[in-house]
Amino acid sequence: MQKPAVSFMVLAAAAALTGASGLEASEDYALRFDGVNDYVQVPYTAGAFPSAVVTLTAWIRIPASTGRRMCIFNRGEDSSSDLGSWRLDVFPTGSLQVAIEDCSDGDGFYNVAADLDDGQWHHVAATRERNGILKVYVEGRLMASFTGTRSPCDQSRQKLTIGAEWAREGGLRTFFQGEIDNVSMWGVALTDADIQEIFDNGISDTASPDLFGYWKFDEGDGQTAFDASTSQLHGTLGASGSEDVNDPTWIPPDGGSPQLTQDPLVSGQLAHLFVTGAHPNDFVAFFVSFTGQAHNGGPCFPQVDSLCLDILAPVSYLGTRRASSGGVAVFSASIPANAPQIQVYTQAFVIPPPDAVCSRKTNWVESTIE
C-alpha cells in the first residue's frame, strides 16, 4: 500500500526560527579559529614563560587537507632581538612539528608523523628536558624522541600566541584553522605517565608550581581567556580588548553527536524540532521521510562530507536554521488540521561554516501524527 502523499514542505509552511527556553550550554567550551586572522595573545611577563625546560599540551581539531602549516602555540620572535623560543605546529599532511630557535638564531625542526587532519579531536603534547631530549606525544602515547636538540632561547620578550605564529619579519602568520582547547604550558618536562594522565583525565592540580599557564577556554563569551594556573597569565582574544576581526569564536562542546528532539506532532498544532550540540552559527538542515529508517540507508550528500541520512528515501528537505550562541537550532512547523495519522521520520545535518571541521548528523526521530 502506498504511503499517503503528505508533504512536510506543506506542514512547514508556517516555519519560523524561534528561541528555545530551558536549553543551557555546557561550560566546557573551546575556541574555533578561522585560519585567516584569528588568534589569542598572552602579554609578556618577565620570568613567566618557560624555555629550555618545557612541556606544552593542547587539544586540537582541524578539517581535512588544509594544505598548509598551522601554528597551535608559539613563544615567538620579538622586534628587538629577533629571537624566538619554541613553536608547536601542524603540517599540511596532518603531522606534528616542534620548532625551536636558540639564542644564536639557529633553528631546529622536529617532525612527527601523525594523522591529525581528520576532523576529530586529538591531544598533542611535547616535552623538552634540560639535557636536550625532546619527546612528542599524540593521544597520550609517545610518538617520537629526539636527542641533542637546540635549546629554546630565553631572551624573547614577545607575547605568547595561540592559533598563530609571531615572526619578526612577517608579524602574525600561519594562522590555525580549526578548534583548540585546554592549552597548557609547564616549566618542567612531564613524564610519560604525566602526559597519559592529562590525556585520560585532564589537569587536576591547577595549583602546581610547575604549571606556568593553563587556558581552558571555558568562558564561552567575552574577550578574555582566563589562565586557570596560579600564574594568572590571562589571554585576550584577537588584537584588542574589544571585539574585532581577529577574534576566534567560542564553541560549546560536541557532547558526542548533536541531538534531535521534537514536540509531539499533533494535527492542527505547532510543532518544534530542536537540535542541541551544534556550534554557534553552524547551519542545521532538517529532513523528513515517511518511509522508514536504516543506518546510513538514506540519501548521501557528497557536498556535506558524504554524510548519509538514516531516514529512507524519498526524503524531503524542510529548511535550514542557524544555531544560536548556545549551539541550539529550532525549526517550527504548523501541522495541518485533519492531517492523516502516519509515521514520520526526521533527522538533521549540522554543517559548520566553510573550511571548518567536518559536518555531523543527528539521531533520527520516529513519531506519529496524532
Shared-domain flag, residues 152 and 275: no
Shared-domain flag, residues 200 and 276: no
The grid coordinates listed for 54 are 618545557
- Domain with 347, as residue range(s), is 8-26+253-368
Per-residue pLDDT tens over the stretch 279-313: 878 899 999 999 888 887 889 988 887 788 999 99
Q: What pLDDT is stored for residue 170 in this prediction?
A: 64
- Give the residue, 7 or 138, on which the prediction is more confident: 138
- Judge whether 1 lies within some domain: no
Q: What pLDDT is stored for residue 66 in this prediction?
A: 67
Using DSSP, state whether 250 is helix, strand or coil.
strand
For a pLDDT cut of 90, what percent of the chain falls above it?
Answer: 55
Shared-domain flag, residues 18 and 77: no
Residue pair 281/322 in contact by the 8 Å Cβ criterion: yes
Written in H, E and C, the secondary structure of 34-79 is ECCCCCEEECCCCCCCCCCCEEEEEEEECCCCCCCCEEEEEECCCC
Q: Which CATH number covers residue 305?
A: 2.20.130.20
Shared-domain flag, residues 232 and 154: yes
Shared-domain flag, residues 150 and 69: yes
What's the average model confidence in pLDDT over 242-269?
A: 83
- Judge whether 225 lies within some domain: yes
Per-residue pLDDT tens over the stretch 143-158: 999 999 999 999 888 8
Q: What pLDDT is stored for residue 2 in this prediction?
A: 27
The answer, yes or no, to whether the previous bond of 280 is cis (omega within 30 of 0) is no
Angle at 71 between CA 173 and CA 361, to 5 degrees: 115
Domain boundary among 251, 277, 304: 251
Q: Which CATH number covers residue 186?
A: 2.60.120.200
Name the pLDDT band for 343 (thresholds 50, 70, 90): very high
- Judge whether 2 lies within some domain: no
Q: What pLDDT is stored for residue 73 in this prediction?
A: 96
pLDDT above 90: residue 215: yes
pLDDT above 90: residue 50: yes
Name the pLDDT band for 241 (thresholds 50, 70, 90): confident
Residue pair 185/162 in contact by the 8 Å Cβ criterion: no
- Report residue 256 CA to chain centroid gap: 13
- Judge whether 88 lies within some domain: yes
Per-residue pLDDT tens over the stretch 307-335: 889 999 999 999 999 988 777 899 998 88
Q: Cα Rg for the chain, rounded, in angstroms? A: 24
User: Domains in the chain: how many in total?
Assistant: 2
| Residue 84 neighbours by CB distance under 10 Å | 26
Shared-domain flag, residues 121 and 86: yes
Residue pair 147/43 in contact by the 8 Å Cβ criterion: no
Nearest alpha-carbon partner for 128 in 53, 201, 72, 202: 53
Shared-domain flag, residues 74 and 204: yes
pLDDT above 90: residue 8: no
Name the pLDDT band for 34 (thresholds 50, 70, 90): confident
Shared-domain flag, residues 245 and 265: no
What's the average model confidence in pLDDT over 112-128?
A: 90
Domain boundary among 224, 251, 278: 251
Shared-domain flag, residues 346 and 361: yes
Per-residue pLDDT tens over the stretch 163-198: 999 887 668 999 999 899 999 999 999 999 999 999
User: Which residues are 224's β-sheet partners?
Assistant: 236
Nearest alpha-carbon partner for 223 in 198, 203, 243: 243
Q: What pLDDT is stored for residue 27 in this prediction?
A: 52
Using DSSP, state whether 135 is helix, strand or coil.
strand
What's the average model confidence in pLDDT over 25-29?
A: 55
Using DSSP, state whether 185 is helix, strand or coil.
strand
- Judge whether 122 lies within some domain: yes
- Judge whether 269 lies within some domain: yes
Nearest alpha-carbon partner for 250 in 274, 285, 275, 215: 215
Shared-domain flag, residues 110 and 229: yes
Q: What pLDDT is stored for residue 25 in this prediction?
A: 28
Domain boundary among 251, 281, 308: 251
Shared-domain flag, residues 165 and 288: no
Angle at 135 between CA 129 and CA 139, to 5 degrees: 135
- What is the pTM for the complete model shown? 0.68
Residue whose C-alpha cell is 550540540? 277
Shared-domain flag, residues 224 and 274: no
- Give the residue, 223 or 94, on which the prediction is more confident: 223
